């Protein structure tokens, strides 16, 4: 995935995150992402669990950069937080 660059001011987003997110924090979100073969996996999860959130990831600080670690259909992935937020917006 390409880094997300459509923010007017990425530094403001990161500056706010620094105050709130710690390594090990679990990040929850709702998603309409499709899984393998285009199956609407997240909607299936939401319906089966009767929950608003469909996805969980973990925050990790490394050398002053905030990352998100998550399991995907292609394996365990690590993204910069700012890119992960961009992927969330694009879904």
pLDDT in tens, 5-61: 555 666 666 666 667 899 999 998 877 766 677 777 777 777 888 878 878 899 999
pLDDT of residue 31: 72
Taking the whole predicted model, whether its pTM rises above 0.75 is answered as no
Position 11 scores a pLDDT of 65
Other Cβ atoms within 10 Å of 7 Cβ, number: 14
Mean pLDDT of 55-77: 90
| DSSP output for 36-79 | GGG--HHHHHHHHHT-S--EEEEEEEETTEEEEEEEETTEEEEE
Distance CA 66, CA 58 (A): 10
Find the mean pLDDT for residues 57-76.
90
């Amino acid at each position: 995935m390409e880094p997300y660059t459509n923010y007017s001011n990425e530094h403001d987003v990161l500056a706010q995150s620094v105050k709130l997110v710690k390594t090990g924090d679990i990040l929850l979100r709702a998603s309409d992402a499709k899984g393998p073969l285009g199956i609407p996996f997240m909607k299936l999860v939401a319906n089966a669990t009767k929950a608003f959130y469909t996805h969980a990831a973990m925050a990790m600080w490394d050398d002053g950069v905030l990352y998100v670690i998550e399991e995907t259909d292609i394996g365990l992935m690590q993204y910069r937080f700012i890119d992960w937020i961009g992927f969330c917006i694009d879904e």
